[in-house]
Structure 1
Amino acid sequence: MTVPFLDAHIHLWDLSRLRYPWLTPPFAEDGPNGSVAAIAQDFGAADYRAALARWQVVGAVHVDAGADPGDALAETAWLEEVAGASGLPDAIVAFAALDDPAIDGHLAAQARHPRVRGIRHIVNWHPDAGRSYTPRDLTRDDGWRAGFRKLADHGLSFDLQCYPDQMAGLVPLFADNPRVPVIVNHLGMPVLFDPDGIATWRAGLAALATLPQVSIKLSGLGFIARDWTQEQVRPFVRHAIDLFGTQRCMVASDAPTDMLFAPIDRYMDALHAILSDFGDGERRDLFGRNANRIYRVGLAL
């Protein structure tokens, strides 16, 4: 039986309205996720609702969609317009570069928008440049860490998209800033071809899970393997729940990005199947009530 779904991670974009360098040709196969040409077209609230038509969507959290950093505030303003017209998204995780010396002003400007709940600054760094999203490991940068500490002053959470071998080094920073909720994106993005990749992922998540303000999204199955199967991803989903518990895990579709690898219905079918043995209350938490609480959405679920 389908339960109400508050999607904890979606993206919308209007390619004529804002600049999205990663969605702009020419497209290459050698990036972390291969060519993104298949999703390089407008994706609005109506497109999202159509893609998730089977799944009793009651709300959604929009996470920064990779607009040009100079358009970060424009992206938030556009999303507020979209939400006013369509009812989605209910909450926004905006972009701000935490290593920017002017970060305090950027955070204040984002926080003035009524639906903004947090910030994402992608920090995936890998020794293999083909896997890396950033030219250096920002998580080791003193300026970036100083920017992270300012999130609490503005009542903002942080969406953490990193690789597993970066996690342990972040634990002291997060432990020293317990007022900043941290939400791990996409199951922590294990890198299966790394030596001891699964062990590194398990150790990194275990370290983060010791901090009560850290939660995790059950999403991004295509980042585990582009040709993923339910049997392949099930151990990752269940291990995350074993570590964080059913109160700190949130199901998310990652539409449309994960549509690079499979239709959204396939993701949702798999996640419902993997979580089918949980009780009704736990499933309602995983599919909506946790996201409602952690992102302070305010829906009656």
Structure 2
Amino acid sequence: MIFDTHLHLIDRQALRYPWLQSVPALNRDFSHQDYATEARRAGIDAAFHMEVDVHPDDIEAETSHTKKLAADGGSLLKGAIASCRPEDSGFPAYLDRVRGDPFVKGFRRVLHVVPDDVSEGVLFRENIKRIGSILTFDLCVLPHQIPKAIALVDLAPDTTFVLDHCGVPDIKSKAEHPWRDHIVEIARRPNMAAKISGIVAYADPADWTVETLRPYAEHVIQCFGWDRVVWGSDWPVCTLGGGLSTWVAATQAMLAGTSDEERTKLLSANARRIWRI
């Protein structure tokens, strides 16, 4: 079975998502019920909710809303990667509150939607060092920003960082550089893991195949090794490239020929170990 480490849920009645207006295809509600029906059919039996870059005033409300969904009978939700703003002076107090909540497994601050120098600020970096070993930090960056991600990883050697979406390669343009070399470099950090997630959204939706995706996924797995890769759907963003079932099928096709142990590590075991599930 599959542990989905990267599920987004959208409820526009409960929370505000300023960025959705710029992505019409995603500007609607995406419920746990809709996800769970397809997910179970595809072999997914557990998931983490990944923050959806809600309005800053709704960050803690998003976690509370997700916890209520997780409490419903039959929910696939086993925890949440919460949004955060390490560039804000209020982060230490927020971190103290979150540390007392076992439902929160880690943080994410999407960095490709803010100026590059945000992650280079003194306060941002001091706050990243505060996270420690209990919570993880997801890095969502574009290929040219991976060196900035490396700088953060080196600042906090006790924290496990997770590189989202294979480092967001530009698959549609068949671009491999500087992405390929940057993946090699960031994978050298022992406190790094990588997420094989949602890369169907970065391919041409009209004509991608498994062989289109394979060089990117395999390069990440080769660099990080089977013990430091996890799987994520990036639903509903993956619907831009074919959908959840299509992405699961493509993943299984790319894993053909690997051992049972390797597949299990990527699809579930590593996630359960990293996040102590």
User: Per the shorter chain, which TM-score range?
Assistant: over 0.9
- Tell me the equivalent position of 1:254: 234
Instruction: Indicate yes or no: 2:264 matched with 1:277.
Output: no
d(CA) in 2 for partners of 1:192 and 1:267? 15
d(CA) in 2 for partners of 1:66 and 1:293? 26
- Tell me the equivalent position of 2:135: 156
CA, structure 1 residues 211+37, in 2 after alignment: closer, same or farther (shift >3 Å)? same
Return the match for 1:217 from 173, 190, 195. Answer: 195
Instruction: Indicate yes or no: 2:230 matched with 1:234.
Output: no
With the length of structure 2 as denominator, give the TM-score of the two structures. Answer: 0.92
- Tell me the equivalent position of 1:187: 166
Return the match for 2:14 from 13, 17, 23. Answer: 17
Q: Gaps (5+ residues) in structure 1?
A: 29-35, 125-132
Maintained 8 Å contact 2:80/2:105: yes
Maintained 8 Å contact 1:139/1:166: no
- Tell me the equivalent position of 1:62: 49
SS in 1 for 2:194: strand
- Tell me the equivalent position of 1:129: none
Q: What is the CA distance between 1:261 and its match in structure 2?
A: 2.4
d(CA) in 2 for partners of 1:112 and 1:13? 25
Q: What is the CA distance between 1:8 and its match in structure 2?
A: 1.2
Instruction: Indicate yes or no: 2:97 matched with 1:109.
Output: yes
Return the match for 1:174 from 153, 162, 169. Answer: 153
Maintained 8 Å contact 1:167/1:207: no
Q: Deviations over 1:262-301 (max 9, x none)?
A: 12111111110001111111111111111111122x2xxx
- Tell me the equivalent position of 1:91: 79
d(CA) in 2 for partners of 1:62 and 1:226? 26
Amino acid at match of 2:46: G
CA, structure 1 residues 263+103, in 2 after alignment: closer, same or farther (shift >3 Å)? same
- Tell me the equivalent position of 1:207: 185
Which deviates more, 237-246 or 162-171? Answer: 162-171
d(CA) in 2 for partners of 1:136 and 1:187? 19
- Tell me the equivalent position of 1:32: none
Instruction: Indicate yes or no: 2:139 matched with 1:142.
Output: no
SS in 2 for 1:90: strand
Q: What is the CA distance between 1:251 and its match in structure 2?
A: 1.6
d(CA) in 1 for partners of 2:99 and 2:240? 31
Q: What is the CA distance between 1:193 and its match in structure 2?
A: 7.9
Maintained 8 Å contact 1:186/1:221: yes
Q: Gaps (5+ residues) in structure 2?
A: none
Maintained 8 Å contact 2:201/2:237: no
Q: Kindly report the root-mean-square deviation, in angstroms, between the aligned alpha carbons of the 2 structures.
A: 1.9
- Tell me the equivalent position of 1:127: none
Amino acid at match of 1:6: F
Amino acid at match of 1:156: L
Q: What is the CA distance between 1:69 and its match in structure 2?
A: 1.1
- Runs of 4+ aligned residues of structure 1 deviating over 6 Å after TM superposition are none
SS in 2 for 1:97: coil
Q: Deviations over 1:199-245 (max 9, x none)?
A: 21112111111111100111121343242332111100001110001
Maintained 8 Å contact 1:187/1:217: yes
d(CA) in 1 for partners of 2:77 and 2:99? 16
Which deviates more, 221-230 or 279-288? Answer: 221-230
d(CA) in 2 for partners of 1:192 and 1:282? 25
Q: What is the CA distance between 1:60 and its match in structure 2?
A: 0.4
Q: Percent identity?
A: 30
Q: What is the CA distance between 1:82 and its match in structure 2?
A: 0.7
Q: What is the CA distance between 1:144 and its match in structure 2?
A: 1.6
Maintained 8 Å contact 1:5/1:58: yes
d(CA) in 1 for partners of 2:172 and 2:72? 44
d(CA) in 1 for partners of 2:115 and 2:158? 29
Q: Which has the higher helix share?
A: 2
Aligned residues: 274
d(CA) in 1 for partners of 2:168 and 2:64? 30
